[in-house]
Amino acid sequence: MGMGLARTSTRTMSNMVQLTSERYPGLSRGNFASLEETDLQRFRDILGPGRVLTAPEEVAGHNTDWLRTVRGQARCVLRPRDTQEVSALLGHCGSRGLAVCPQGGNTGLVGGSVPVFDEVVISTGLMTGVESVDTSAGVVVCQAGVVLEALDTRLEEVGLMVPLDLGAKGSCHIGGNVSTNAGGLRLLRYGSLHGSVLGVEAVLASGEVVDCLSSMKKDNTGYDLKQLFIGSEGTLGLITRLSLACPTRPKSVNLALLSLPDFPSVLDTFRECKGHLGEILSSCEFIDKGSMDCVTQNLGLTCPLEESDFYMLIETSGSKAEHDEEKLQLFLEEMLTRGTVSDGTVADGPGKQKDIWQLRERIAEALLKDGYCFKYDISLPLSVFYDSVTVMQERLAGLGVTRCVGYGHVGDGNMHLNITTPTYSQEVLDRIEPFLYEWTSGHRGSISAEHGLGFKKRNYIHFSKSDSAIFLMKQIKQVFDPKGIMNPYKVLPDQ
Amino acid sequence: MGMGLARTSTRTMSNMVQLTSERYPGLSRGNFASLEETDLQRFRDILGPGRVLTAPEEVAGHNTDWLRTVRGQARCVLRPRDTQEVSALLGHCGSRGLAVCPQGGNTGLVGGSVPVFDEVVISTGLMTGVESVDTSAGVVVCQAGVVLEALDTRLEEVGLMVPLDLGAKGSCHIGGNVSTNAGGLRLLRYGSLHGSVLGVEAVLASGEVVDCLSSMKKDNTGYDLKQLFIGSEGTLGLITRLSLACPTRPKSVNLALLSLPDFPSVLDTFRECKGHLGEILSSCEFIDKGSMDCVTQNLGLTCPLEESDFYMLIETSGSKAEHDEEKLQLFLEEMLTRGTVSDGTVADGPGKQKDIWQLRERIAEALLKDGYCFKYDISLPLSVFYDSVTVMQERLAGLGVTRCVGYGHVGDGNMHLNITTPTYSQEVLDRIEPFLYEWTSGHRGSISAEHGLGFKKRNYIHFSKSDSAIFLMKQIKQVFDPKGIMNPYKVLPDQ
């Protein structure tokens, strides 16, 4: 899988991903210094030899993205333990002009988390300290490398939760989540990271530490700089520590899986569940038939409902089980009576709920098994939400595409549109892009709702942002990182 | 009231506020151009003569803040109706080097919304268009000058609400709320404006329009520039239009007023109400005895409970009245049985609820009737929250202070500490500042939780922000406003 087309290639291992520099031959390496033995020696002085990885088998995984669509050529991976070490490493890279790729759990979907050429990888993998948990205010302060699921488990002990959940929770780092402004399954309820991150500490390209690590819920003293680090994908600095507002963990969670005859019924159900479930609604996801087929066929999972054109997951989280169940029951009865919903099941207990969540959370993994996956993550007005899938299905007819499917966060207007092929196909890509971006922009949607721009989408930024905004972004980049060493070739468009 | 000490003064009217330039004699006017007749002619060409105010009696109100503590010397007030007019006005001011003070409802509490010297006032008072309301997504797009309460009334018609409420709602503009990152009474439930503002359109000092006016819930395309306009108090640009995510309006609202014997009981009640009320808790406010006395004595309002050292307002907002009432009832019974709460009343119906809210919302107005009010708005860890008041009471003993009281958003860790005197007293001020800022900073609190820095607090920014952060802010200011004409003498510290 993810093999790339047979073009001239230096691939030596048969299942290795094509180098990014080969797949994108128009791209040229920036004017950065090249790594020398003296640099490695300096890194070893700072970290000790055990945390400077240079063996090809140790470095390989850090060069390739999870989707197996891009591959960089970093020769070394640095594994600092704390802010001071990150500062010393970046101080050296900055003064030498060495380009750097900050890396968390490497679960990004737009090629933002791996090097493009030979950038030095600085991994947050060893920065896993949870420094404090204020249970009465509901605030955690931690290092950037804590795995999302581990952080949530730690908070569960004191009755709190991370206000963020996504399929990659077992591998992604909270610092990476913040750097990419990850959205996920419960944004509908708990809001975006721009609201829940209370503070950020980051290290700039110069090695300077910027302390915006407030742990107060409210702080209106000057420009809110931490917001710039949220979602800038490591191009302005490397996030080392952060503080996060954490909601009280719900005492009662209910999950319903519904089948629906058509997309208007999905929208109707969304509108109705907002009214009926109100403050206890914690997730509203949809899955089309093609996505459900993929997860059952490719992963062998079982859908407990009869086959249908659309499915939805509706989750409630509340403080009193009887109340929540009563609200959910009334809502489901009304939807079934009306015929808006064809069938439904309510999962009782965490085990059954987890089984149902897998049908949604493992779609990305299932799609990869088809071979190559072209992934799109767009925001759209609900009136044209599913048109994005049908328009692309028509446009790709006859091109040998395996699937063209949609699923995602309908409650947030966020569509995950995915097209799979047996292997990478330039013809398919050219048929999708820039058409899909133009179509999305025409509806005033966003060409990247939550995945970010990373490497793959940076040159399409103008479909969602004005020239004046892009110009300001470039000037801000210049302020934070004058030499441009922080995660180059990402987020901002090529000249 | 607000007369200032008897110092040399050019005051001609007996109740006029002392000029800012006189009260702060160390301050010098920036190197900006002075308004000439040709400038006024250009403004009239852009707006027509009726919207260029120059008559002293028309300009006076725009020069003085609501607290009557600062007074500028603007000679003209401009009243554009749309973005293009703002762009033309700023284009002229930018090219001429005329300083500008953007102004919304002029309800700010830190001297940020009035000129310091002779800055030209650009008022959003006529920019009152509500452009679109998407009821199914819950998103409103409007101009900056819509009054908060008017916007909420408009949204009520379609079952939505503004996720923000504060005492000044009848006068403040939504654009001003966003520019100052206003917090208010329901941040606890609906989060900060950094989360709920979806898009901003702003005009820079050059007259350039920056369009970041997405109305999508999620948009991860490049740096989130709109965040910089949120809370920068008009120093980076003038917000002309914005889009806002609006929650579903609750079907059921309950409000309880409680009396409590001591501050530990306040904290205990906050902890318990989070557990019992969970997702329906929409406000958790506290009022100390001194604040309650002020609102009853100075405004003649009546508190329905027996006198007590502390009071709390607990509000619930939910989708099902029976459920909400049951949760609230159980919570109150437990608190009364335990003795944590001495007495309480639940207001049934909007009229009685409004009466109770007045006891909290009109404290600021009541304090002004004492004469001069020194206002502080700090975030603190809950463990030292009320110490801020007792420490200041001790420190000010014997100085003839009328009141030293505290109230505010205990649920957000946000204390409003207020000290009143018959007239402005430099001696009292010197006793408060910088001591209180040092004390707050020592507890890693914020010296401005929600009011912003404006004019009065800009030079104390270093108590809450690091040097490296302040340096980045100054560089960002330079990018957005190279000549420094946008709301000068505000937010950023003097050199």
**DSSP letter for each residue of A373-384:** EEEEEEE--GGG
pLDDT > 50? residue A408: yes
Closest C-alpha among A206, A89, A277, A4 to residue B318: A277
pLDDT in tens, B343-397: 999 998 889 999 999 999 999 999 999 999 999 999 999 999 999 999 999 999 9
The pLDDT, as a whole number, for residue A16 is 85
Amino acid identity of residue A454, one-letter, is G
Neighbouring residues of A151: CB distance < 8 A, sequence distance ≥ 6? A130, A140, A142, A162, A174
In the prediction, which pLDDT does B14 show?
40
Give the ipTM of the model, two decimals please.
Answer: 0.95
Determine the pLDDT at residue A15. Answer: 58
Using a CB-CB cut-off of 8 Å, the residues of chain A touching B232 are 223
B382 vs A136, A227, A248: nearest CB? A136
Q: Of residues A210 and A3, which shows the higher confidence score?
A: A210
> Nearest C-alpha of chain B: how many angstroms from A58?
32
Residues 339-358 of chain B whose Cβ lies under 8 A from any Cβ of chain A? none
What's the CATH fold of domain B370-451? Alpha-Beta Plaits (3.30.70)
> Chain B: nearest CA to A460, how far in angstroms?
9
pLDDT for A8 beyond 50: no
Return the axis-axis angle of helices A350-361 and A289-299, rounded to nearest 10°: 110
Nearest CB to A219 within list B134, B274, B464: B464
- pLDDT-derived band at A361 (thresholds 50, 70, 90) equals very high
- B476 with A223: Cβ contact below 8 A: yes
Q: Tell me, yes or no, if the two domains A5-123 and A130-245 fold the same way.
A: no
Q: Under CATH, which architecture does the A252-363 domain have? A: 2-Layer Sandwich (3.30)
pLDDT at B50: 95
Over residues A77-101, mean pLDDT: 98
In tens, the pLDDT along A454-473 reads 999 999 999 999 999 999 99
Contact A449 B251 (CB under 8 A): no
Q: In what order do the strands lie in the sheet with B77-78?
A: B52-53, B77-78, B120-123, B100-103
- A403-409 and B372-379 strand pairing: unpaired
Calculate the average pLDDT of chain A: 95
pLDDT, position B11:
41
Q: How close A379 comes to chain B (CA, Å)?
A: 6
Fold designation for B130-245? 3.30.465
DSSP conformation letters of B164-222: ---TTTTT-BHHHHHHTT---TTHHHH--HHHHEEEEEEE-TTS-EEEE----S---SS
Average pLDDT over residues A244-270: 97
Question: What local confidence, expressed as pLDDT, does residue B10 receive?
Answer: 40
For chains A and B, count residue pairs whose Cβ atoms are closer than 8 Å: 277
The more confident residue out of B135 and A1 is B135
Within chain B, which residues score under 70 in pLDDT? 1-15
User: What is the torsional sign of CA B246, B123, B472, B413?
Assistant: negative
> Looking at the predicted structure, is the pLDDT value of residue A148 above 60?
yes
Instruction: Let me know the angle formed at the C-alpha of A420 by A397 and A235, rounded to the nearest 5 degrees.
Output: 125
Please judge whether B222 and A280 are an interchain contact, meaning their C-beta atoms are less than 8 angstroms apart.
Answer: no
CATH class held by domain B5-123: alpha beta
Buried b (16+ CB within 10 A) or exposed e, A181-207: bbbbbbbbbbbbbbbbbbbbbbbbbbb
Instruction: Please identify among residues 425-464 of chain A the ones whose CB lies closer than 8 Å to any CB of chain B.
Output: 444-453, 457, 461, 464
Enumerate the domain spans of chain A: 5-123, 130-245, 252-363, 370-451
DSSP string, A84-136: HHHHHHHHHHHHHT--EEEESS---SSS-SS-SSSPEEEE-TT---EEEEETT
Burial degree of B336 (CB within 10 A; 0-12, 13-18, 19+): middle
Among chain B residues, the shortest Cα distance to A139 is held by: B381
A452 closest CA partner among A181, A70, A71: A181
Mean pLDDT of A296-303: 98
3-state helix, strand, coil in chain B (%, to 5): 35, 20, 40
> Distance, in angstroms, between A329 CA and closest chain B CA?
14
For position A3, what pLDDT does the model report?
Answer: 34
Could B473 and A225 be called an inter-chain contact, meaning their C-beta atoms sit closer than 8 Å?
Answer: yes
Distance of CA B450 to the CA centre of its chain: 6
CA distance B179 to B479: 18
Q: What is the Cβ-side half-sphere exposure of residue B423, based on CA atoms within 13 angstroms?
A: 9
Band (pLDDT 50/70/90 cuts) for residue A35 is very high
Residues in chain A with CB shorter than 8 Å from the CB of B227 are 194, 224, 227-228, 230
Alpha helices in A339-434 (DSSP H): 350-361, 363-368, 387-395, 426-432
Residues of A in contact with B217 (CB under 8 A): 187, 379, 412-414
pTM: 0.95
Q: Cβ distance A41 to A81 under 8 Å?
A: no
Residue of A218, A458, A470 to mutate when probing chain B, most B C-beta within 10 A:
A218
Q: Which of B213, B210, B199 is nearest to B237 (CA)?
A: B210
Cα distance between residue B375 and residue B406, in whole Å: 10
A residues 32-71 lying closer than 8 A (beta carbon) to B: none
Residues of B in contact with A236 (CB under 8 A): 223
B404 touches chain A (CB under 8 A): no
Which of these, B460, B313, B300, lies nearest to B378 by C-alpha position? B460
Identify the CA nearest to B207 among candidates B115, B121, B93: B93
- A77 closest CA partner among A110, A107, A113: A113
DSSP E strand boundaries for B112-182? 120-123, 130-134, 139-143
Residue of chain B whose Cα is closest to the Cα of A280:
B279
Q: Measured between CA atoms, how close is A491 to chain B, in angstroms?
A: 6
Closest approach of chain B CAs to the CA of A400, in angstroms? 31
* A217 reaches B (C-beta below 8 A): yes
CB B445 within 8 A of CB A216: yes
Measured from the Cβ of residue B84, the count of other Cβ atoms closer than 10 Å reads 14
Give the DSSP letter of residue B31.
S
